[in-house]
Chain A
Amino acid sequence: MFSLNNHLELRRVTISSLVTCIYLPSIVTVISYKGLLYSVGNASSLYVLVLIFTAELIKSFYLNSNNDLQVKKKASKNRVGDIVKSIVFLLGVKFCFFVGIILFGAPVLEYHEETLILSSLLTLLTVFPLIAHTGVELAVQLLFGVKTFPRDTIIAMLVNNALLTVCGAWLGAVVIPLDWNTPWQQWPIPCYLGAIGGYLLSNVLTVTKVTLMSAANKHPFLSIFVNMMNRLHISK
């Protein structure tokens, strides 16, 4: 996946994934120890989204830090415009997620608050890092397949994260119909946790892959595993 030549980028990818692997589980652990895990669907749990937002923003600053020289000149002109545009775009994506979730079977007339929280989380985990990294125009082009992206880049990692997040949320819905009557089967907790799980899994996979690749440099037999992991990836 990633070439070992571009050491800087590789290090960024690894460190940002590692940070995710640390901060997301800690958030989940803290709120579950506080006994708030089953209230993640309510608006009162907005602080979780804010925390994730901040973390992703910091990560994207870190990921972008080398393009500073080229970007700064352009960006400084209409920074405000960019931010407004991306907020509008994010709201649009959030609305699309909202409608999509309802189409997939979420209650139509009630639980809007819960569905909105879930769609905000999905937006935050999928589209937001992409926009923060590339800017609105490029993100739109990527989303609609106008522009293709090379496989071995940060963008590829972000797209993979997004796909696995959506898959996780999709899989989370599996437990809802079961008649176990547990508190965590409440809408939208399984999907919410599923999305977080999918995102986490994607990051863990990235870290593992990078580790294996660097190990395979010394021990060539490990490259089998690297190939296997590459094949596992969802290819369009």
Chain B
Amino acid sequence: MKEKWNFILYLVWFSYLTLSAVLMFGQGFLLSRKTLNDISECVSLENFGCDGRLNSSEKFSCTESSKIQRILANSGSPIVCATKSHRVVFVLVDALRYDFTEYNTDNKNPLFYQNRLPIIQKTIERYPERARLFRFMADPPTTTLQRIKALVTGSLPTFVDISSNFAAIEIQEDNVIDQIVKGGNEAVFLGDDTWICLIPGRWLRSHALYSFHTWDLDTVDNEVDSKIYDELKRNDWDLLVAHYLGVDHAGHRYGPNHPEMARKLTETNTRLEKIIESLPSDVILYVVGDHGMTETGDHGGESKAERTAALFAYHSSGFSGDEADRQSGKEVQQTDLAPTLSAALGRPPPAPSLGNLLFPILPNMPVAHTLLHLNNNLKQVTQYLVRYGEESQQISLDRLAQLINATRDQIEKGASVETEDELKLYISNVRALMDNIRNIFREVWVEFDSLSMLRALLLLLLTVFFNWIITEGIPAERIPHVFASSFVPSGLISMAVCVGICYTGHYFEIIDDLGHAIILSTGLISGAITCVLVIMHWDGITQRWYEGRSQFYERFARAALFASAAILVSNSYIIEEGATLSFLSLTVLGLMAWNIGNIKSLVLWAGFGVVMALTRSYRGCREEQGDCWTAGEGVATGNASRAALVIALGSVAAVVAISRRHVEWRGYGIVIAGIFSCAHWAVGWGSLGSPSRSKMLARGAWLVIVTMFVLLWRRDGRGATLPLVVSGLLFYLANTLVLGASFAPTAGLALLSGFLALNIVSMLKTEGSIKFSLTTRCNSSMACLWALLASYSFYGTGHHATLSNVRWAAVFHAGDPNYTSFGNIISVALMFIYLFGMPLLFGATVPLLALWGRNGASTLGPRTQLAAVFSLCLKFALCFAIRVFACALSATIHCRHLMIWGVFTPKLLFEVGSCTAALLGTLIGATLTAWHIPNQTRSS
């Protein structure tokens, strides 16, 4: 039995290969940015003395501008609040592309989106010093959510903004609105409720409308119109934000070249006309588009048409700047808006901003004030660079140091500027420096590392392909011999050699990126070794494939798994994946029952179908599933209703009561854990409950579960079936605990569905007279069915592959783990079980597929048993690897897709999590089996 532990080692090896490749992919694909919680502070000018120092003791008075001069000369002084502030109306017209705003009188046959906004051109011609029209360049991703973030923070948001709190969609960084509130000013909001989700609770008044229905062109716009003119008359606000959606929705539904678009743009024109008419004289108006659209009306990518939005500014007292600044159609960056808006409102730029001040759309001001604003901007960026360097190593330190020095130079130079011409030169120098800084950050935040993505895909493909040949090709009777040979040890040794070489290379500074080098070299060497194995056994493989005849249900099961992986390239199937997986697994099991062809199997299948239908009521909703989401089903409430509590208690009691008789002494542990968890819900329920006692009970339940898990490793020499069943039950109980009372029955339903499937599988006909047939009980259709079920159970337990659907209550059900010294590990583990407990459960019970039932493998010799269990485990793990590969591939294909950050990337993340859980589960299951199978005295 030399192969016993080699099997386990090989599974570990396979898991390592899969996960390392996925890790490498993630490093290239998941652009991440560290969010910092810093907030820009400014000190009021009055706190400075005339010598330019804070809280100076000198009492003599001086003019404002000379004071500023002194402050500028002191390069270590803090950011100073601007003295003059204006009120601002900020109108965001979603998807206002630049060419929508152009007006060309020569164009006799304008398209539906051309020449529809004459008011803009008219205003510019009539008052050249009062109005500006610029190209407003957005950075990808050009989706509204990321754009709003960018507009208010002045930064370049990525999909994963790593912050202390993943759960909330709320902006964690400093932003314009926060700055306004901090300065004691007021903001009012009208329009799309994305703003309220991002920045809740800061508004004096807000009128937000839910806007998911992209087919609804008018509701939001009309509502905003009904309020905005009244708001314009009031003067208790300093910033009025209005977000119009109609143009974007018209683009999504009809595309830009459609009469509906003409109608929406004409409406916008009259709207702007009215706003400009009723605008008070001290108020600045900014009309911007957050992104453009393609010729089909979509956006999200990085094409020129999507990135080019429009920026129109109007101020009746006129803007600063000369003829060159005034020129229409100049390109300005969207990041520049946040500091400019802050400056107009008399606040310092938000802390994470990387933008320039746009003086052409700021009112006229004296040189000293202009310099003060520039100085503030430079100081804020310097602070950000310093802080970002402290928190993250994404940008190399030398480079950051260079940038910081350059900004400090500019700050010092600012003091010597006096004349208009010098100022102009200075502004353009600062602009060049800031552009340089932004480009460096853009490289890190916005551009994919396609080389490591492709390498990772190649490694994953290599792993999947050769392991597929090994499991499907090498004849079952050869497997024990292969693994008793030196195959696994030599593989592990060569991997160790690779790691050693990489370390040496890194030590002598030949290799830069150690992690990538190790992953790449070990992946390639493993591919080569498995390839050698395949070549050595080519005769057996060809013979098996030549002779092999598979049943229809086997072929179908494989096809179903591939289909479930292949449809991950389509966003609609990802959104509806729960239904798809249940459909496929029901069909696969139905064909198996058809193959058995007796009444019992039919009844079991129908029972399985009913269980699947019951889990449907627990399936969650995501935002894209319009009707279901608006009906409020997507919002999970933490509190269970009375009926839910009764069902939860009943389900746990039933599972415990039925199973305890069949698992002998281990039944006591199950019963105690079950009682603890039931008591935990019952005591903690409703307003009469006692939360502290309930948490104590939950801790008791966990203690029992962990103890039972340790006790599982007590050998009793009676085969592996019983410990495996008990491990399944323990995982079930752990799942019910983290799912909470309202979702606990789903875990019971998943367990039941697995049990029914197991019984159908064990009835499958075998060829000839042999009771147990390796080819029947260990063929890939079992693994495919089990993988489909495991993937479905993720949805069946009320989850969805979106970050916003994750409920964080699971971490705290047994008290806040952060109070203990190793709380971080506990909360991660609880969250992992909460999200991926089902793949874990199904993974741990994979060996039962071979062992279960009267004609299972448990009656056979240990060698055959182990080989059967191993091949099933590997096939199951392979199924998940295939699904992850499909996810990664679709993320690569769609990396500029509209829904990449909303649909494909979360799916990839959750699929990787499921895959990890499944691999871990199979390892536990396989190790349990290997541990409990009696050692053979002589080889059979």
Q: Indicate the member of A102, A103, A234 with the most B CB atoms within 10 Å.
A: A103
> CB-defined interface of B567-579 with A at 8 Å, one 1/0 digit per residue?
0001111011001
Give chain B residues whose Cβ lies under 8 Å from the Cβ of A104.
Answer: 583, 586-587, 609
How many A-B pairs with Cβ below 8 Å? 37
Measured between alpha carbons, how far is A170 from B613 in the docked complex, in Å? 17
Give chain B residues whose Cβ lies under 8 Å from the Cβ of A173.
Answer: 583
Measured between alpha carbons, how far is A178 from B575 in the docked complex, in Å? 9
Q: Which residue of B lies closest to A96 (CB)?
A: B606
- A177 pairs with B613, CB closer than 8 A: no
Measured between alpha carbons, how far is A151 from B813 in the docked complex, in Å? 63
Given contacts A108-B616, A145-B597, A177-B580, contact A103 B573 (CB under 8 A): no
Give chain A residues whose Cβ lies under 8 Å from the Cβ of B576.
Answer: 177
Give chain A residues whose Cβ lies under 8 Å from the Cβ of B580.
Answer: 177
B575 CB contact (under 8 Å) in A99, A105, A177: A177
- B613 pairs with A102, CB closer than 8 A: yes
Report if B552 contacts A (CB, 8 A): yes
Report if B763 contacts A (CB, 8 A): no
> CB-defined interface of B657-675 with A at 8 Å, one 1/0 digit per residue?
0000000000000000000
> CB-defined interface of B542-583 with A at 8 Å, one 1/0 digit per residue?
000000000010000000000000000011110110011011
- B572 pairs with A108, CB closer than 8 A: no
> CB-defined interface of B608-641 with A at 8 Å, one 1/0 digit per residue?
0110110010000000100000000000000000
Q: Indicate the member of A102, A177, A234 with the most B CB atoms within 10 Å.
A: A177
> CB-defined interface of A96-128 with B at 8 Å, one 1/0 digit per residue?
000110111100100000000000000000000
Give chain B residues whose Cβ lies under 8 Å from the Cβ of A179.
Answer: 571-572, 575, 624
Measured between alpha carbons, how far is A100 from B616 in the docked complex, in Å? 15
Give chain B residues whose Cβ lies under 8 Å from the Cβ of A234.
Answer: 552
A105 CB contact (under 8 Å) in B552, B570, B583, B597: B583
B610 CB contact (under 8 Å) in A103, A105, A178, A235: A103
Measured between alpha carbons, how far is A178 from B570 in the docked complex, in Å? 8
- A177 pairs with B579, CB closer than 8 A: yes
- Report the minimal beta-carbon distance from B802 to chain A, rounded to whole angstroms: 16
Give chain A residues whose Cβ lies under 8 Å from the Cβ of B613.
Answer: 102-103, 108
- A103 pairs with B612, CB closer than 8 A: yes
Q: Which residue of A lies closest to B594 (CB)?
A: A236
Measured between alpha carbons, how far is A105 from B584 in the docked complex, in Å? 10
Give chain A residues whose Cβ lies under 8 Å from the Cβ of B579.
Answer: 105, 177
Give chain A residues whose Cβ lies under 8 Å from the Cβ of B606.
Answer: 99, 103
Measured between alpha carbons, how far is A170 from B588 in the docked complex, in Å? 12
Chain B binding surface SS class: helix
- Report the minimal beta-carbon distance from B552 to chain A, rounded to whole angstroms: 7
Task: Give the size of the chain B interface in residues (CB under 8 angstroms).
Answer: 21
- Report the minimal beta-carbon distance from B623 to chain A, rounded to whole angstroms: 13
Give chain A residues whose Cβ lies under 8 Å from the Cβ of B624.
Answer: 179
Chain A binding surface SS class: loop
- Report the minimal beta-carbon distance from A168 to chain B, rounded to whole angstroms: 14
Q: Which residue of A lies closest to B576 (CB)?
A: A177
- B610 pairs with A177, CB closer than 8 A: no
Give chain B residues whose Cβ lies under 8 Å from the Cβ of A145.
Answer: 597
Give chain A residues whose Cβ lies under 8 Å from the Cβ of B583.
Answer: 104-105, 173
Measured between alpha carbons, how far is A105 from B597 in the docked complex, in Å? 23
Give chain B residues whose Cβ lies under 8 Å from the Cβ of A177.
Answer: 572-573, 575-576, 579-580
Measured between alpha carbons, how far is A167 from B555 in the docked complex, in Å? 15
- A105 pairs with B571, CB closer than 8 A: no
Measured between alpha carbons, how far is A99 from B612 in the docked complex, in Å? 13
- Report the minimal beta-carbon distance from B901 to chain A, rounded to whole angstroms: 17
- A178 pairs with B572, CB closer than 8 A: yes
Give chain A residues whose Cβ lies under 8 Å from the Cβ of B586.
Answer: 103-104
Give chain A residues whose Cβ lies under 8 Å from the Cβ of B612.
Answer: 103
- Report the minimal beta-carbon distance from B275 to chain A, rounded to whole angstroms: 34
- Report the minimal beta-carbon distance from A153 to chain B, rounded to whole angstroms: 21
Measured between alpha carbons, how far is A105 from B575 in the docked complex, in Å? 15
> CB-defined interface of A178-189 with B at 8 Å, one 1/0 digit per residue?
110000000000
Give chain B residues whose Cβ lies under 8 Å from the Cβ of A108.
Answer: 613, 616
- Report the minimal beta-carbon distance from A175 to chain B, rounded to whole angstroms: 10
Measured between alpha carbons, how far is A99 from B610 in the docked complex, in Å? 9
- Report the minimal beta-carbon distance from A108 to chain B, rounded to whole angstroms: 6
Measured between alpha carbons, how far is A70 from B763 in the docked complex, in Å? 42
Give chain B residues whose Cβ lies under 8 Å from the Cβ of A100.
Answer: 609
Measured between alpha carbons, how far is A103 from B612 in the docked complex, in Å? 7
- A170 pairs with B587, CB closer than 8 A: yes
Measured between alpha carbons, how far is A99 from B613 in the docked complex, in Å? 11
Q: Which residue of B lies closest to A103 (CB)?
A: B609
- Report the minimal beta-carbon distance from B737 to chain A, rounded to whole angstroms: 29
Q: Which residue of A lies closest to B573 (CB)?
A: A177
Q: Which residue of A lies closest to B595 (CB)?
A: A236
Give chain A residues whose Cβ lies under 8 Å from the Cβ of B587.
Answer: 104, 170
Q: Which residue of B lies closest to A180 (CB)?
A: B572
Measured between alpha carbons, how far is A170 from B560 in the docked complex, in Å? 13
Measured between alpha carbons, how far is A235 from B594 in the docked complex, in Å? 12
Q: Which residue of B lies closest to A181 (CB)?
A: B215
Which A143-188 residues have a C-beta within 8 angstroms of B? 145, 170, 173, 177-179
Give chain A residues whose Cβ lies under 8 Å from the Cβ of B552.
Answer: 234-235
- Report the minimal beta-carbon distance from B910 to chain A, rounded to whole angstroms: 18
- Report the minimal beta-carbon distance from B348 to chain A, rounded to whole angstroms: 45
Give chain A residues whose Cβ lies under 8 Å from the Cβ of B582.
Answer: 105
Q: Which residue of B lies closest to A177 (CB)?
A: B576
Measured between alpha carbons, how far is A99 from B603 in the docked complex, in Å? 13
Give chain B residues whose Cβ lies under 8 Å from the Cβ of A178.
Answer: 570, 572-573
- Report the minimal beta-carbon distance from B45 to chain A, rounded to whole angstroms: 56
Measured between alpha carbons, how far is A177 from B581 in the docked complex, in Å? 12
Q: Which residue of A lies closest to B624 (CB)?
A: A179
Q: Which residue of B lies closest to A102 (CB)?
A: B613
Measured between alpha carbons, how far is A145 from B610 in the docked complex, in Å? 25
A: residues with CB less than 8 A from B are: 99-100, 102-105, 108, 145, 170, 173, 177-179, 234-235
- 14 A-B residue contacts at CB 8 Å? A99-B606, A102-B613, A103-B606, A104-B587, A105-B583, A105-B616, A145-B597, A170-B587, A177-B572, A177-B579, A177-B580, A179-B624, A234-B552, A235-B552
Closest 6 A-B residue pairs measured CB to CB?
A103-B609, A177-B576, A179-B572, A178-B572, A105-B579, A177-B572
List 18 other contacts, CB 8 Å, given A103-B586, A104-B583, A179-B575: A103-B606, A103-B609, A104-B609, A105-B579, A105-B582, A105-B583, A105-B616, A108-B613, A108-B616, A145-B597, A177-B573, A177-B580, A178-B570, A178-B572, A178-B573, A179-B571, A179-B624, A234-B552
